[in-house]
Structure 1
Amino acid sequence: MIPNQSTSEEVDSDFKRFIGHFLMNYRLYTLCIALALAIAVAANFLMIPQYKVTSSLLLKDGAKKQSAAGNGTEYLDSRLFGLDQNFQNELWVLKSNSVIEQCVKNLSLTIGYFQKTGFGYRDVYGQAPFQVFLTSNHVQPLHVRFQLKQDGPAQFHLKVEGKKVQFAAVETGEVVVEKRNWEFETDANFGELIETEFLSFTIYPDFNQQLNGQGEASFYFEFKDVMAATEEIKEQVEYKAIDKMATVVELIYKGPSVKKGVAVLNEIMDVYSIQNLERKNYHADITINYIEQQLDQIADSLKYTEDKLQQFRSSKNVLNFNDQANSIMGQYMDLENKMAELETRKRYCAYMTEHLSADEDLANIVIPSSMGIPDDMLDNQLSELMAVQSQRAALVRNNQDMNPAVPKLNLQISSIKQTILDNVRAIETATDIAIDELNKRMSRVSAEIRYLPVTQRQLGGIERKYKLNDAIYNYLLEKRAEAKITLASNIPDNMIVESARSAGPNPVSPNKQLNYLIAMVLGISLPFSFLSLKSMFNDEIDSPEFIAQVTDRPILGTIAHKPRRIKKTTFSQYPPVLKESFRTLRMNVEFACKGVPNKVILVTSCVEGEGKSFNALNLALSFAELGRRTLLVNFDLRKPTYYFNSPETESLGLTAWYRENIPLEQIIRKSPERNLDLIQSGAPVDDPVDFQEISRTKKLFENLRMMYNCIVLDSSPLAFVSDTYLLMDYADVKLIVARMDYGSKKVFRFIMNDLRRKKIEGVGIVLNDNKAYNDQLGYGYVKKSKQSWFRMQRSKTSPSHQPSLIGKLKLAMSKANSIHECPSENTGFSGAKAKT
């Protein structure tokens, strides 16, 4: 066979098997699909619609850039006091509780407004015709809904009840008391304070909102603490980066109110921008405060030296030095100006060492560049330290002290602090060296000054102190002006790209089409999975394919399922599908026994209850239907079955023939059906193996073969006793009845292997109780025939029922055109070849 053709046939076979599996269990699939669709319809109807609102925000990401000269452009760029920003850090700040909590407080989201619609409550944020104002620091009932009905233009009725109500301050959420089955009801006017021990608030009408023709509609409101409202907003808001290379964040709100979503997203972006600007201004403010403290100290010294210089000039009447004196004094003043800068730097190093050694937060420390110390490395290290401390502070504020990142950040902070401290000490050492060198130069210039007149020397000393203080004062004034310029020009490090807006008029949840699709998938997959698992762990015979896998013995017949509504009737009263099953079995047995005039057919099963007696009786009836003399012998001597409800004949049966040697003709009974005789088993015996004599049994079958055309033996199950094996040599065909969804696979496999080991030939399988009607005989009209049979049975109850001539002709044509199954190969039946 061509490989592609083989593969195509296998796929086609699998597809047919799947379709057959579906058709066999169509009731279960239909029920599950209907139930899943009903649940989907209920969910679509009961679920509160969720809408989507989006906005986008640009977060600036980049390191601080300072000019090499450290000039004033740094301040105008608003980055002198800024920190190195990282996109992920800023995104974390945007999502932090501090931003969301401030948003909740600004929008008063601790109060929820609702309106009942159908089976749920609709969020009417910003649409309720009233507003509730809470009394500060007073306990309120949390998470319980107040019902408000407006009784007039200024009156309303308020009612609330709860099974388990907690009372707490909205700001803190700390529960003060908890009550069970709490109720409260009152009539009040708008603007009137409603206050008890457990609640306190005022309700004002909102004239901007109208009832929109709703009349006496019921509205509800509910109180939440700030933390609960914050967590609710955090669950409803999603943050998504637009692209890996971009720093634009898309904010997505999914909730029941579009108006609330727009307000929440816009407020989150505004609060983040304000907090970002406050952080930047904070560093400028602390720098200005530090400079002003230094100015206050220098101003006193400057005023003192200025007064002293003025007094000296007046008392000594000294106005000017000569050129040489001016030159020497100019050199000395330059050295003193440099000394002033070095002293300022040394004081700053001491200031830094003090703060670093104190192991405190450096958020309030002054940046070196703001004091005229152009050290880019130290600036970058301080910026990195502040950024790490900011991350740690954010984690601590969000109650994440146990986060594994906190210890790592602590180690990083300690390492950076030590590095900064080493750098500061190195700067301090270099400054001390520069001061020593400057002192030596000033000593040499001072020696030259000593040669000047005493009055000139005294005046020069006073002027030097004055000019030194004046230089320091002017230097600090310049730095304060630069810091104030930075403060005035600061802008947030983010930009709102798109304000919040609705993503569309339709809700994003529930997705009705998706729910129906999921319901269909679940309605098919759940029963399929259940049936697959059931088949996997099932030990019952469930298909002809299993029999084909276990044994090469042919299936001589497939007996249709007998519905429970069919009572015990004669063979002629069976439905067509059931009668055709036994007729097909009869014809296959005849082909298997071709050439044997008077045949013996043994019918047995693996275990009790698989229908061997039912099949033996109806097979005998089908042979009798052809006009052949047929005998049904019950060889189940341990647990006999009495045919045609005749237990009174049990005394005259095989046991009596074996024990009392009565004539054979006395144990043969006529049945109600034509051409069918019976031999009952008689009284049960405990050990039929020892009871039966081989010679007498052989004589029995020799006599019966001369009397009857067909002998059907109903024997004991093979798995329990060995009685049936004694009859194998006398039977031309051995039929093993296997009942669908009843017989054990394990037992059936054992019996088939045992028959193969014993080399017993002429064995065929009868698959009993098959419920797949369309697969019984290969007919397309089987199911229709079954329905027609039930209509015929109902119509027989009518006295006027008479079969028409057309009906008789159709029945005759149906019998003439019947096609029967036959064994597909020769499997050891004596004297016959299987018809293909």
Structure 2
Amino acid sequence: METQKKPSPPSDDIDLMRYVSLFISNWLWIGAALFLSLGIAYLFNRYSQQVFNVRSTLMIKEQQASGAISNMEQIFAGAAYNPYPNLEDEVAILTSYTLNRRVIEDLPEHHVAYIPVARNGIQGQRTYMTSPIVLRKTTGEQPFNKPLTIRFTGPDTFTVSPQEKPDGRNRKTVADKTGDPEREFRLGELYNFYGFSFTVERRDSIQTISENQRWLVWFESPDQLTNIYRTSLKVDPVEDYASVFNLSFDGYSPQQGADYLNTLMKLYILQGMEWKSRAADNTIDFIEAQLGLISDSLRLAENSMESFRLNNRFVDLTLEGTLVLQRLEKFEGEKNMLGLQVQYYEYLIDYLDARDDSESIISPSVMGVTDPVLVRLVGEFAALQQQKKQMVFTVKENQPQVQLLNRQVEDARAALKENVNSALSQLKLSVNNVNERIGAVERELGRLPGTERRLIGIQRKFDLNNSVYTYLLERRAEAGIAKASQITDNRVIDEAMVQNSSRIKPMEMKNYLTAALLGLIIPMALIVIFDLLNNKIIGRHDIERLTKAPIIGYISHSEYHVEDPVAEKPGSTLAESFRAVRTSLSFYSGQEACPVIVISSPVSGEGKTFVSVNLATIISMMNKKVLIVGLDLRKPRVHAILKAGNGHGMSQYLSNSATFEDVIVPTQIPNLWFAPSGPVPPNPAELIGSPKMTEFIDRARNEFDTIIIDTPPVGIVTDALLLSRISNVTLFVVRQRYTTRGSVQLLDEIYRKGEMPNVSMLVNDISASGYYGYGLRYGYSLGYGHKYYDPGNYYTKGGGKSSGYYTND
């Protein structure tokens, strides 16, 4: 026999068209998944809680005053020694728990949630200052996050139903005659049950309350609400290294977000002013204390001078007395200034020993201290204090950065205290020096007359106290002016406004697009996964991907309960399938006078015997003598389909127990004969490979036009391969959703090695809904009027249902 050229193995590349066909064939599942996902997206967009983004702009920048105000600010430690604000610390303060808790306490409307409930029980969007009712707490303690359903039974009456009743120990009753928490309440009446204590009032007289209107309400926990707001707040600079920041907040209402941001910015600015004013207040308090001490001494000196002049009629001093007084006043003034400095140093020592960092340290310039080293150390210490105040807003005490800052504060405290002690010692030496010079002048004073000497003493005390008092008054005035001229370092650029808000959730278009993608991707992915996990052939692309062997035809699924539908139903679609195969076979057999067609399959149950009988029947309808040879000697079935006996058969002929004439049996179908398999022999392979088989085929060629040989499955036994030398065409029958892909690869190996002549694939049991990528009716238009004669019946071609018969073999 002529051998064919060995083809190349099939490609392992992914066949995109195969998957396209796979998706098209399952379009109903994909469409259902898409519809379901879009429906879920619609419900999500319709009923999910809306979220709005509100924005504002805040400048965080230190303002430097000019002229005299700038000089007067030197007396404040917070203003004089604070560096340019650390913007990251300011952002941390804005998002701190302490500041946000103050904001929550300043916004009582945020403490209660109001959600309308429809008649079907579906909750609406949470409202803010638009509900027709408002809850007024009568006590500070309320159960938090415990929902209550308020249902109105009339315009002014309602019932309250807690969704989760607290323990009975928390139950409280009102002092009325019923004490029933399930009864009707009137607007303004106290509800005092289950730990709650509040009244329900109208928000305004404009909104009406209808009967059966329901509201879901609960009291928010201030702690939880503070943390929720903090996480929803974002503070970002408008650009890198800028001191202008965008504040954005995500809330359930534009007005809610605007109120929160505006209150946050207001309290943040007020807090900065409080910190700066605290240093000025401390300075003024210190000066007031010193004025209180000196004012009594000044009053006594005034009274003494006035009394002396009245009693002694003494008006002016002599020239010598005047000179002595001037020198004494000079030295006494120096002593007083040194005394003020000593008091300041003693204040510093007491302040450092007290370790109370809540109060700001007073600037050295208040008492005229100009020591540059001391000024620098006080400035560094004040800066560390301010940094620590800011850090405790956002960082816990046990964090490493706080502990590091505490060590820096202690180091600065120790250095400052050491400097103060050293300066105080030097200052006391200076005081002793001044005292010695005062003593020398006082000895000169002793030579003056007694009356003049007493007047100089009184005048000396008065001038001394008056100069100190005047100095302190000037300092207090400067401190007051500095405090009054204090301006904030920060200011609001843009307030949060409702009209500038935007809804960010739900993002309807994004949700629909996501749902559409998931509705397509998920079913398509499942289809691909199921396809990869499936080891059965489903469609034409499966076969074409696994083998290069040609497909000669397709036999459709049959709903007829007969094994020879071509003979029984010659006008059926199934018969047309076999006619198409018959036409294709003519191209394979060529000019052979009597082509020998071997029909096999990978395993049992794929319908090779069914195909053999019906293919032989359709060929015999062309007035050709056809012989079916049953060479499945192990499991013969041809005789059962043809409703004939299995007496003398091929096993006997091949073993020389019967003649050619004995095994050739006519059938009820015209022009169709068959050679049954006969009794099952012990050595079928040896019999098929014997010379008697060749002798049988040679004689049959002389008497018949076509020979069809039904052989055992090649995936189980090799009997069919023994017929390669005597056959012209080999048909391998595979069955949809039955034949495994491994079996097709086995057939491809036979095809590529050229072990059988003219190998072709015949696909059996094709279903209209499952064999994607191929027209199941092969172009035959059904019901166009042709009728076929069948003994006792007329069959309209293509009379309705698809056909094809599948069998266990």
Cα deviation code 1:203-227 (max 9, x no counterpart): 2333344118x56533443223222
Cα deviation code 1:490-520 (max 9, x no counterpart): 4544333333333479955434433332222
Cα deviation code 1:97-126 (max 9, x no counterpart): 334433333323222223224632233432
Aligned residue for 1:559, secondary structure, equals strand
CA distance in 1, matches of 2:570, 2:460: 134
Q: Quick one: which amino acid aligns to residue 408 of structure 2?
A: S
Q: Deviation of residue 350 (structure 1)?
A: 1.5
TM-score normalised to structure 2 length: 0.78
Report if the CA contact (8 A) 1:101-1:226 is conserved. Answer: yes
CA distance in 1, matches of 2:267, 2:646: 99
How do 1:22-33 residues align onto structure 2 when only pairs under 5 Å count? 22-33=23-34
Q: Deviation of residue 550 (structure 1)?
A: 5.4
Report if the CA contact (8 A) 1:600-1:710 is conserved. Answer: yes
Aligned to 1:108: 109
Q: Quick one: which amino acid aligns to residue 187 of structure 1?
A: E
Cα deviation code 1:527-555 (max 9, x no counterpart): 2222333445554446666656655x431
How do 1:393-792 residues align onto structure 2 when only pairs under 5 Å count? 393-396=392-395, 406-419=399-412, 421-423=414-416, 425-426=418-419, 428-430=421-423, 432-433=425-426, 435-436=428-429, 439-440=432-433, 443-444=436-437, 446-447=439-440, 449-453=442-446, 471-503=467-499, 508-541=504-537, 553-559=548-554, 562=557, 570-571=565-566, 573=569, 582-583=578-579, 585-642=581-638, 645=641, 649=645, 653-655=649-651, 657=653, 661-670=657-666, 673-681=669-677, 688-689=684-685, 694-739=690-735, 742-750=738-746, 752-753=748-749, 756=752, 762-766=758-762, 789=782
Report if the CA contact (8 A) 1:601-1:712 is conserved. Answer: yes
Aligned to 1:121: 124
User: Is 1:37 aligned with 2:33?
Assistant: no
CA distance in 1, matches of 2:576, 2:471: 117
Aligned to 1:206: 203
Q: Quick one: which amino acid aligns to residue 516 of structure 2?
A: M
Aligned residue for 2:592, secondary structure, equals coil
Cα deviation code 1:589-646 (max 9, x no counterpart): 4333324332222233334444444544454444334443333334334444457746
User: Is 1:145 aligned with 2:148?
Assistant: yes
Q: Quick one: which amino acid aligns to residue 718 of structure 1?
A: V
How do 1:213-292 residues align onto structure 2 when only pairs under 5 Å count? 214=210, 217-234=213-230, 238-244=234-240, 246-292=242-288
Q: 1:201 to 1:622 in 2, by over 3 A?
A: same
Aligned residue for 1:719, secondary structure, equals coil
CA distance in 1, matches of 2:189, 2:702: 114
Q: Deviation of residue 195 (structure 1)?
A: 1.7
Q: Quick one: which amino acid aligns to residue 555 of structure 1?
A: P
TM-score normalised to structure 1 length: 0.76
Rg: which structure is higher?
A: 2
Aligned residue for 1:186, secondary structure, equals coil
Q: 1:643 to 1:22 in 2, by over 3 A?
A: farther
Q: Deviation of residue 69 (structure 1)?
A: 11
Give the alignment partner of residue 194 of structure 1, picking from 176, 186, 191: 191
Q: Deviation of residue 418 (structure 1)?
A: 1.2
Q: Deviation of residue 156 (structure 1)?
A: 0.7
Report if the CA contact (8 A) 2:626-2:672 is conserved. Answer: yes
Aligned to 1:811: none
Aligned to 2:47: 46
CA distance in 2, matches of 1:496, 1:68: 27
Q: Quick one: which amino acid aligns to residue 347 of structure 1?
A: E
Aligned to 1:329: 328
Q: Deviation of residue 160 (structure 1)?
A: 0.5
Q: Deviation of residue 149 (structure 1)?
A: 0.5
Cα deviation code 1:444-486 (max 9, x no counterpart): 5644553442778888788777666655554444444444444
Q: Across the two proteins, how many residue pairs are aligned to each other?
A: 764
Q: Report sequence identity in percent.
A: 22
Q: Which runs of 5+ in 2 are unaligned?
A: 1-13, 173-179, 800-809
CA distance in 1, matches of 2:788, 2:28: 28
Report if the CA contact (8 A) 1:636-1:714 is conserved. Answer: yes
Q: 1:740 to 1:486 in 2, by over 3 A?
A: farther
CA distance in 1, matches of 2:434, 2:264: 61
Aligned residue for 1:713, secondary structure, equals strand
Report if the CA contact (8 A) 1:141-1:199 is conserved. Answer: no
RMSD of Structure 2 on Structure 1 (CA): 4.9
CA distance in 2, matches of 1:756, 1:294: 114
Q: Quick one: which amino acid aligns to residue 409 of structure 1?
A: V
CA distance in 2, matches of 1:135, 1:453: 80
Report if the CA contact (8 A) 1:52-1:508 is conserved. Answer: yes
Report if the CA contact (8 A) 2:261-2:496 is conserved. Answer: yes
Cα deviation code 1:242-264 (max 9, x no counterpart): 43354444444544444434433
Q: Which runs of 5+ in 1 are unaligned?
A: 1-12, 169-174, 809-836
Aligned to 1:6: none
Aligned to 1:389: 388
Aligned to 1:158: 159
Report if the CA contact (8 A) 1:54-1:501 is conserved. Answer: yes
Q: Deviation of residue 687 (structure 1)?
A: 6.3
Q: Deviation of residue 339 (structure 1)?
A: 1.6
Aligned to 2:61: 61
Aligned residue for 1:394, secondary structure, equals coil
Q: Deviation of residue 660 (structure 1)?
A: 8.4
Cα deviation code 1:390-430 (max 9, x no counterpart): 3432235xxx667xxx2123213312441453255336535
CA distance in 2, matches of 1:389, 1:231: 22
User: Is 1:185 aligned with 2:182?
Assistant: yes
Higher deviation after alignment, 467-476 or 325-334: 467-476
Q: Deviation of residue 186 (structure 1)?
A: 1.7
CA distance in 2, matches of 1:578, 1:599: 23
CA distance in 1, matches of 2:388, 2:286: 22
Q: 1:503 to 1:713 in 2, by over 3 A?
A: farther
Report if the CA contact (8 A) 2:787-2:796 is conserved. Answer: no
Report if the CA contact (8 A) 2:335-2:434 is conserved. Answer: no
CA distance in 2, matches of 1:471, 1:772: 116
Aligned to 1:10: none
Cα deviation code 1:293-313 (max 9, x no counterpart): 444455566667777888888
Aligned residue for 1:196, secondary structure, equals coil
Q: Deviation of residue 747 (structure 1)?
A: 4.7
CA distance in 2, matches of 1:177, 1:650: 95
Structure of higher RCO (CA pairs closer than 8 Å, 6+ residues apart) = 2
Cα deviation code 1:80-106 (max 9, x no counterpart): 597753333333322333344333333
Q: 1:730 to 1:187 in 2, by over 3 A?
A: same
Q: Quick one: which amino acid aligns to residue 707 of structure 1?
A: E
Q: 1:478 to 1:756 in 2, by over 3 A?
A: same
Report if the CA contact (8 A) 2:787-2:795 is conserved. Answer: no
CA distance in 2, matches of 1:611, 1:307: 137
Higher deviation after alignment, 671-680 or 769-778: 769-778
CA distance in 2, matches of 1:698, 1:323: 161
